[in-house]
Amino acid sequence: MNAMQINALARMPFTWAVGVAWLVGSSSVLADVDLTSKFSNQGSIANTRHNLTQRQATGGPNGSSMDQYRNNYGEVCVYCHTPHGANSNLVLPLWNRTIKATTYTTYDQLGTSSLTQPVSQPGPNSLACLSCHDGQVGIDSVINMPGSGGYLASQATSQSNSFLNGWNNVGGPKATVHIGLDPTPASGCLACHSPGAGVVGAGATDFSAFVIGTDLRNDHPVGVRYPPVGPGVDFNAPTATRAGMRWFDTNGNGHPDSREVRLYDSGEGHEVECASCHDPHGVPSAGAGSTFNPSFLRVANTGSALCLTCHTK
């Protein structure tokens, strides 16, 4: 790096400077594409992008660079779950993430919406996903850190960076900022992981499609009540029911398996939520050991198979 490049970096915000420093020192630069990575999407969530401790196997920023932007807790599950001191504001399994009180812009507020059923604010099985994907808090914004002594109850609804700063990454310096999937261009994760990031984003996988924000009108409706079924109606009937859930029991075992689409009732009738179609742990496409369905889908959408689970179009 020459003197001109060093001076330019010194004038940049810290979060941009690290990315550019890596790029100008890199012998091979790729633009906004998936580099060879550890994410085989097979076996377990540990081999997917929902393992927030992982990085590329080759190329890209090293661990020390990435660890400045999020705590590397060294454990896969802790970014969402904790055995003690879970977030009790929502009915979610041992939930460890900050969930801010938010009023989302829902699909029924779209001027051209043709929905026939009522829409409510997202339920718990959407808020779990949105706690990362709406970009309001850092991807490392947990309530209870691994080990003992790292717990803050108020983290349940409001991210405290001073609390998160208390974690010292095993593989490098502790995080100085705690960023998330902020939809603002060139902000948060998108400062590197988007084509709009310019030179800083060169070589970083484009995460734009994963950034949902708080305006949900550009995505499949969530919090929407499942329509009536029967002759002359465009929807299939779920084949199994238990408290709080209905699902399409394709194997007939009476259990909501990970590869089966389901509806959730959080008090307003059975509704479509994010987890109706997505399993964050990954679903093998053809049995144990096979590659997971893309986008953590419960059913691969080849030939619109996922859509046709519910829709009779």
225-274 pLDDT, tens per residue?
Answer: 999 887 778 899 999 999 899 999 999 999 999 999 999 999 999 999 99
Q: What are the tens digits of pLDDT across the range 75-115?
A: 999 999 999 999 999 999 999 999 999 999 999 998 877 88
Q: Amino acid identity of 92? A: L
Q: Is the pLDDT of residue 170 over 80?
A: no
Average pLDDT, whole number, for the chain?
Answer: 84
Count of CB atoms situated within 10 Å of the CB of 304: 10
- When pLDDT is cut at 50, 70 and 90, the band that residue 61 belongs to is low
Q: What is the pLDDT of residue 64?
A: 59
- Give the span between the Cα atoms of 165 and 155, in whole angstroms: 13
Any idea what DSSP says for residue 83?
A: S
Cα 181 from Cα 139, distance rounded (Å): 8
Q: Residues 6 or more apart from 80 whose CB is under 8 A from it?
A: 95, 96, 97, 128, 280
- Residues 237 and 250: their CA atoms lie apart, in Å, by 12
Nearest-angstrom CA–CA distance, 308 and 138: 35
What is the per-residue pLDDT for 28?
34
Residue 47 has pLDDT above 50, yes or no: yes
Q: Where do the structural domains in the chain lie, given as residue ranges? A: 13-23+30-217, 226-313
Would you mind telling me the total number of residues written for the chain in this entry?
Answer: 313
Q: Are 16 and 23 in contact (CB under 8 A)?
A: no
Give the pLDDT score at 200: 64
DSSP-assigned letter for residue 236: P
Inter-CA distances, 52 with 10, 78, 132, 280, Å: 29, 10, 11, 13
Nearest to 203 by CA among 22, 59, 32: 32
What are the structure tokens assigned to 271, written together?
């509704």
Q: How far is CA 207 from CA 22, 135, 309, in A?
A: 19, 12, 28
